[in-house]
Amino acid sequence: MEQFSKEQLFFIAYASTWCNDHSKEFLEARLKDDSHAPATSRVLVPLMNSDDFAKAYNCPQGSKMNPVNKCLLW
């Protein structure tokens, strides 16, 4: 893990808390019955709206993980 900066490790740790291995059928059924967003959305949406994530990973502005228009909560 030496190849990652401490900032990158923070985001890796955050994302790893949402790791799971479910079948496509399970995920489709869960989308119909669960009021919570799927794990992938719980990881990707906050990170794609994070300037700190974009800086840590050098995401080009306008890329999927660093869109020009971000949803800022605070």
- Convert the pLDDT of each residue in 14-68 to its tens digit: 999 988 888 888 878 888 888 888 888 889 999 999 999 999 999 999 999 999 9
- Rounded to two decimals, the pTM is 0.80
To the nearest 10 degrees (0 to 180), the angle between helices 6-16 and 39-48 is 150
Alpha-carbon gap, residue 44 to 22, rounded angstroms: 17
Phi, psi (deg, nearest 5) at residue 2: -65, -20
Give Cβ neighbours of residue 70 (< 8 Å, ≥ 6 apart).
48, 49, 51
Residue 60 buriedness (CB in 10 A; 0-12 / 13-18 / 19+): exposed
